[in-house]
Amino acid sequence: MQNSLRARLTVAFVGLAVISLLLVGVVLVGYSFTAQRTQALELQSQIARRVASEVAAFILERENELRVLTEVRALQQLPPEEQANQLAALLAYEDVYQELILVDSTGQETFRISRLKTYDATSLENRSGEDEFERPKATRQIYYGPVKFDEATGEPFMTISVPVIDLRSGQFAGILVADFRFKTVWDLMASAQVSGGGVVYVIGAQNRVVAHRNPSIVLRETEFVLPDAAALTTGLSGARVALAYQLIQLGDQTLSVVAEQPVREALALAYATLIVTLGALVVAVVLAGGLGVWVARRIVEPITELAMTAQVISAGDLSRQATVAERQDEIATLAQAFNQMTAQLRETLAGLEQRVAERTQGLLTAAEVSSVTTSELEIEVLLPQVVELVRERFDLYYVGLFLTDEAGEYAVLHAGSGEAGRAMLARQHQLRVGGDSMIGRCVLSGQADIQLDVGEAAVRFSNPDLPDTRSELALPLRAGGQIIGAMTVQSEQEAFFSREDISVMQTVADQVANAVRNARLFQQLQESMDAERRAYGELTREAWLTMLQSQSDLGFFSDRRKTVQDADVWWPEMEMALSSGRIEQGQDDTPALAIPIKVRDQVVGVVDGRKPDGTAWSEEEAGLLQALTEQLSVALESARLYLDTQRRAARERTIGEVTGRIRESLDIETVLRTTASEIRQAL
């Protein structure tokens, strides 16, 4: 009978747990997948819109450049030589243009300049009848041609035709044709901020990819057909992705900016929820089985257990407690009577000892907290240690530390003990300063607040993570005359705290507050030093990169016979040292030693040493070569700084000389002629 009842209870518990968890799991997983899918598609849509606006703005800048050249500078009215200079200057200034062509009102090319080849008067063509001429002539609007691909390089480009209007007569005077290289848009795709394995690319007419951070995809003439709307679909690489796109309308031409992210990343949270649900189901089956056996045993054995407890208590063991059944029956009433009797006697005998122990424990805990706060400067490490230490030493239910935000409007939880603390930290738990909570009142008033029965107190805030709290004490964190937060300590027992506990707990809170202030000051100092170090290192790297680009032949080779300038001597170990930034040995037992030249932690060159007799480098020789290399780094940086100083001085001298000649006359025409001449000579 007993075994049958125990089996039925076990089966009932297991069945209830499994069915409930299955229902919750199905709903949770379904909702998670739906919400994650919507969020993933919205994220890709935002990325596509952002990048589309950047591409459109970039193309609009080119349109404005061409308008400035035709309208502001009156290109058509300039002499042919000046027209050629203007177009050549634009082509040299902006590498986004492949060709610039000036066409008169009849469609005849009057000037054509290209990056790939040179045109003379005999190679100029007539563009009448072509869309790039007829459309802007008829509409007086800018014309965008379809995206084409260069036959020689395979790179995409788009033709932009800007009508040239005579400012005096208002008549059509011709067009300015520019071939806009899409290779510059590739850089926008490469710099687009995407998450994980996401990618952004542009699709033109005939569903062909015209811009991608991987140039080989464009050069392979890759085609991709977009879905009707944002969706989870097959992406450009053939994998399942979350895909969204944004259209860019340029005249009659339409470009599609596409953003996609692999499904495994976009729905990572949903997959994790599914795994957790399955794991919870297994754990529930195990726990339900054990709980069923335990409940059955509690039903069968309560009388025997109560009898044994009564015998032990009658023998003088007042620490023994009778187990009180959950149901309120006669056995439970008898067990409660036994427990009340022994509890009253224990309280009478141990009250004084407990108070002495609590005071001693408080002082010891304050000393331990002081030791922790003086040995740790990381707030993220310090605060969790403090809350766990206080909770353990005072045998508390929960300890939490709140710090005020920058605006001083909220007290934000920065450390909490136990599972409840981790849960509240995960959801960024915070309380309004001056609100109905004890923490809010404490931070506002700067005074400790104690509640011996928070279940009946009006200032008690509703927190499902701490359902068993019965006593609470809130203490302000005071540092440098300011309230920077508060500490809450909670107990499961009513009237657990006394007024005397406030002094001990406030000592701990003051130590924590001072430690937080010291840690913040230390963190600010570290951040300032790191920012300064990074900024100076970046300036040094850019300066060396600029110098090495202009002087690429800096290299010298020296042996027993001669020392010559030779920048093309690169042995394998030199390449390795340049890329790794570490000292490298010669390969295949070659007696060579390559040491990188570092300036501000930036590798700017390599010193390579080889011994003619084939012997290996000793530690003393290697150390000497490394020391000389370090001194070389210092000397090189000094030389570079000296060159920079000379360049700046020459630049300021040139500016002063040109400005002086410009100011020699007060006649506007003379000033303009002098300015043009001096700028041409200076540059």
Choose between 127 and 614: higher pLDDT: 127
Q: Do the beta carbons of residue 569 and residue 557 sit within 8 Å?
A: yes
Q: Residue 303: its pLDDT value, please?
A: 59
Q: Residue 458: its pLDDT value, please?
A: 42
Q: Which two tokens stand for residue 487?
A: 């500490």
Average pLDDT rounded to a whole number, residues 332-354: 65
Average pLDDT rounded to a whole number, residues 77-101: 79
For 226-276, the DSSP string reads: PPSSSEEEE-TTSSEEEEEEEEEEETTEEEEEEEEEEHHHHTHHHHHHHHH
Q: Residue 182: its pLDDT value, please?
A: 77
Choose between 543 and 297: higher pLDDT: 543
Whether pLDDT at 178 is above 60:
yes
SS3 sequence, 104-131?
ECCCEEEEEEECCCCCCHHHCCECCCCH
Choose between 457 and 236: higher pLDDT: 236
Residue-averaged pLDDT of the chain: 79
Whether pLDDT at 349 is above 70:
no
Closest CA to 469 of 457, 481, 477, 480: 457
Q: Do the beta carbons of residue 52 and residue 246 sit within 8 Å?
A: yes
Give residue 330's pLDDT band: very low, low, confident or very high (50, 70, 90). low
Closest CA to 287 of 538, 557, 279: 279
Whether pLDDT at 2 is above 60:
no
Assign 402 to helix, strand or coil. strand
Lowest-pLDDT range, 168-182, 277-291, 520-534, 649-663? 277-291
- Which residues lie below 8 Å from residue 411, measured CB to CB, with a gap of 6+? 402, 403, 404, 405, 430, 431, 432, 433, 439, 440, 443, 485, 486
Choose between 556 and 161: higher pLDDT: 161
Q: Do the beta carbons of residue 181 and residue 155 sit within 8 Å?
A: yes
Lowest-pLDDT range, 319-323, 326-330, 652-656? 326-330
- Which residues lie below 8 Å from residue 95, measured CB to CB, with a gap of 6+? 181, 184
Helices (H), 581-618: none
Whether pLDDT at 1 is above 50:
no
Whether pLDDT at 619 is above 80:
yes
Q: Do the beta carbons of residue 188 and residue 248 sit within 8 Å?
A: no
End-to-end CA distance of the chain: 106
Whether pLDDT at 143 is above 60:
yes
Average pLDDT rounded to a whole number, residues 205-230: 85
Q: Residue 325: its pLDDT value, please?
A: 61
Q: Residue 299: its pLDDT value, please?
A: 60
Q: Residue 366: its pLDDT value, please?
A: 63
Q: Residue 387: its pLDDT value, please?
A: 83
Q: Which two tokens stand for residue 416?
A: 């909490």
Residue 157 phi/psi, 5° resolution? -150, 160
The secondary structure element, H or E, covering residue 329 is none
Q: Do the beta carbons of residue 408 and residue 431 sit within 8 Å?
A: no
Average pLDDT rounded to a whole number, residues 92-99: 80
Lowest-pLDDT range, 18-27, 228-237, 672-681? 18-27
Give CA angle at 72 (184, 113), nearest 5°.
Answer: 50
Average pLDDT rounded to a whole number, residues 221-229: 87
Q: Which two tokens stand for residue 613?
A: 């007799």
State the DSSP code for 551: -
